[in-house]
A and B are shown apart, each in its own frame.
Chain A
Amino acid sequence: MRDVYVIGAGQSPFGSFPDETYLSLFETAYENALESVGGELDPDRIDEAFLGTLGVGGRQIGLSSPAVTEHLGLHGVPTTRVENACAASGYSFRSALTAVRAGTADVALAGGYEVMTDTSADQTKWWLGVSGETEWERTSGTTFAGVYAQMASAYLDAYDATVDDLSRVAVKNHGNGAKNPKAHLGFECSLEDARSAPGVADPLNLYHCCPTTDGASAALLASEEVAAEFDGPAVKVAGAGAASGRVGLFQRESLTSIPASVQAGEQAYAEAGVAPDDLDFAEVHDCFAIAELLAYDDLGFCERGEAGRLLREGVVDPDGELPTNTSGGLKSKGHPIGATGTGQVVEAFSQLRGEAHVQVDDPTYGLTHNVGGSGGGVTVHVFERTEVDA
């Protein structure tokens, strides 16, 4: 198995762009990824592409990814659309990683795209809702927010965490996102703002929920040999983990944990040979504030049930021991479903290159954590700044 490096990563701005299409958004992300490579990468060297999307509002479900590579001039490149709901591009990244590791590709493009703001509220609810379990959960009248709200209700009941801890996620992530020019909701918010927001699905309010967003992100993965051709700090994929989980929340033993996160995290740590203590930063899936708390627990950032403490004590602040979601997270940066997983990779790449908007002091290890649905599929990747030994 070959070592794999991220040699470039870029994203489009995340937000609401009525004049853009999923093609043009991905084009921007792709160009930014190419520009981030330390030197000129001839696109002809891209052997394969894996692109994630839920389905851009239903407009182009069949063959949307080949439409994207066609738009980029990547003629003839084998292109696979990856759909694992909100973990679509976490999985597209994993597929690209696997191709390069296996030697079937020396350079692979991973990415994702989504257009979510040009559909009606009902259509958006339909698209998001069908990523949950449809036979029972959906027919109980619940929504995505509702499912995470149920987890929140169980978590707040089981542990010493409060609604204010949920609000602290918003305060922190908006604080970070305000410094990220590509963030969808790039403004700061106070704890009082977050406390007084209108309710969405009790106990979650508007500030506990990420926006629906248009955007695209891309990462270029390469073998060690190829990576050695380019300048700049090398960003190695040190560890990868992925797991599927029960699609329906009601089908799980625990409602206060996402087992697929635990499993994917353990795999990624083991492969990278690191422990949570070794991490210098993390980008975790915070589609709803409770998801970020669950991630702290599931990824071993703290003892189970202690997530609220990390927020209260500032452990996950930019100047804390484990800065988390320095990009602004899904909450502030935005959550263009298919683009989210590789969007996290963009932040990890920037951090390890020393180019992040909220830069962590001299980081070596960073983690990305991408959740599909309410936990039906998860990827975790550990990145390491290192030397290329080719």
Chain B
Amino acid sequence: MSADRDVANDLAADGGSAPDVDAVGIETAAIRLPEYRLSSEAIAEAWGTSHAPGVERKAVAGADEDALTMAVAAADRVLAGDADGTTGGGAASSDTVDPDRVDLVVTATTTPPMEEGEFTPRLVRALGLPTDVATATLGGSTAAGGEALARGLEAAASRTALVVVADCPAGDPAETDHPMGAGAAAFVLSSDPAVSVGEPAWHVEEYPGIRHRERGAETVDTLDITTYQRTAIRESITAATEALADDGGPLAGPGLEAVDAAAVHQPNGSLPYRATGDLPFDPEAVQAGTVADRIGDAGAATVPIGLLAAVADANGEADGADPDGDRRSVAAVFGGGTAVSMACRGTVSVAGVEELDAGESITYDEYLRKRGTIVDGEVAGGGAHVSLPNWQGSLDQRYRLVAGRCPECGGVTFPPTGACRECHERVTFEEFEAPRTGTVRAVTVIGQGGAPPEFAGHQQRDGAYGVAIVDLGEGDDEITLPGQLTDADPTAVEVGDAVTATVRRIYEQEGVPRYGVKFVPEADAE
């Protein structure tokens, strides 16, 4: 969208309900959920009971997905604009966002791939953002998602902030794991918003042990002191949210009574209703911002995703979306000691919101395998890994399919190193990004036991996988590269099928996960 859009025209067009001229907020947004869903019934069948109240099914990250890959996918969507080209009730969100505009990137997750190790820079590189962009990586509690939004909003008056929250917590399979899902939300925040967001309100109090993960542990734990926890959550959310009504902003005038949708801390599908017990919200409003019932507890990302479900415009098929776009929403994030609430006004087209009600159902044993619960994931036999410096040198190719065009003959070479593939001259290539959709030219299935040693762990979790040689683009821009198929039944993929590139975890070597392009068959793609 243009930075100098005609505010007066917008005001006239939507009956004066557009955001204030000096507002900051959500310019455009996207959701990314994994392909797989597990029903709470399947959990109950396995364990005799399900500790996931109000959760009907939850999103499950694939064996090669993690917080980073979901973050990349969500951010890719938000920068690419609305995938289906529909325009929102607010700003022209079908427009792409020029990566050069982004000058602040804030990410949040409680499940970074490495306990210590860069997260946001990988995202920045995968998205091709400027290298002088300011970054912040937040974590430590589920409040991190709210903190990330607050940081982005703070900067949005004068900058364009990309905020990405992605999470995939796991718990003890017999207990705390039952509601735990996965997902990512990405926001472009600026002073040109479709949804204006007021200044966040905070409430900070030490409530240790509501939810925690011990040092070195993979799984989240809870003390399960029911009344204490509910009180902590309700009090904190109430305090932070009531403060919103006092300081004008999007709720100016009617106040909290006018809230159409509330996305509230939701470690399961029932708690938001309890947590808002002291607030004047209708159950329908809470329902509009609740997504844990369909995707489970996506940690720090649950409320941001719920917020996007609440503010998604009619085209985004949000529950009960207000067709005139003048929707008042509240997002209330709780961590353990921090609650942060923010009020929103307006709607925006949210790419990927339909994934809340989509996805492929898997069985409980498939789920345990994908999570790595019942396999050791150890890589045996060394493996022919590409060393980190060499991998680093190919990131533009692995993330963004940067190819080279020969200035002499026009031929395309991928990766763009060495002599030109066409004329065999050693030239300096003109670089370009190949399209991310293409066609399978050759394909096979690597069955159990057949994988190279460094892929054995992945195969244990994901089973037989497909490997294709794919032509991306057409004619003068066409590149060819090999890649794994993902989110697919590999036996169903044939020569000639259409595929889309997505960034996933390739393997882990030297203790460091490596990410790059894999291919999703188009029938299964977004």
Contacts and interface: CB of A to CB of B under 8 A. Distances in A.
A202 B490 CA distance: 10
A146 B384 contact: no
Chain A contact patch, size range = 35 or more
Given A146-B444, A201-B446, A122 B381 contact: yes
Interface stretch (B22-30, B157-165, B478-486): B478-486
Nearest to B482: A140
A149 interface: yes
A152 B443 CA distance: 9
Contact of A249 (B380, B442, B483): B442
Given A135-B394, A150-B469, A202-B445, A141 B480 contact: no
A353 interface: no
B384 A150 contact: no
Contacts of A248: 482
A143 B451 contact: yes
Contact of A143 (B441, B452, B491): B452
A126 B415 CA distance: 24
A12 B77 CA distance: 61
B73 to A, nearest CB: 19
A162 to B, nearest CB: 14
B442 A151 contact: yes
Interface in A54-108: none
Contact of B450 (A126, A136, A138, A201): A201
Contact of A121 (B449, B465, B482, B516): B449
Contact of A123 (B381, B390, B449, B465): B381
Contacts of B507: 139, 141
A210 to B, nearest CB: 15
B481 A250 contact: yes
Given A146-B450, A201-B450, A251 B442 contact: no
A136 B415 contact: yes
B414 to A, nearest CB: 8
A103 B383 CA distance: 44
Interface string A133-163: 0111111111101100111111001000000
Given A150-B469, A199-B447, A126 B442 contact: no
A134 B386 contact: yes
Contacts of B443: 150, 153, 202
B452 A135 contact: no
A151 B444 CA distance: 9
Contacts of A250: 469, 480-482
A255 interface: yes
Interface of B: 380-384, 386, 390, 394, 415, 421, 441-447, 449-453, 455-456, 458, 465, 467-469, 480-484, 490-491, 494-496, 506-507, 514, 516
20 contacts: A122-B453, A122-B456, A125-B453, A126-B453, A134-B384, A136-B481, A140-B484, A141-B446, A141-B451, A141-B452, A141-B507, A142-B452, A146-B446, A152-B444, A199-B447, A200-B447, A201-B446, A202-B445, A203-B444, A255-B442
Given A122-B456, A153-B442, A154-B495, 19 more contacts: A122-B453, A135-B390, A137-B482, A141-B507, A142-B482, A143-B452, A150-B443, A153-B495, A154-B469, A157-B494, A201-B447, A202-B490, A203-B444, A249-B442, A249-B482, A250-B482, A251-B421, A251-B480, A255-B469
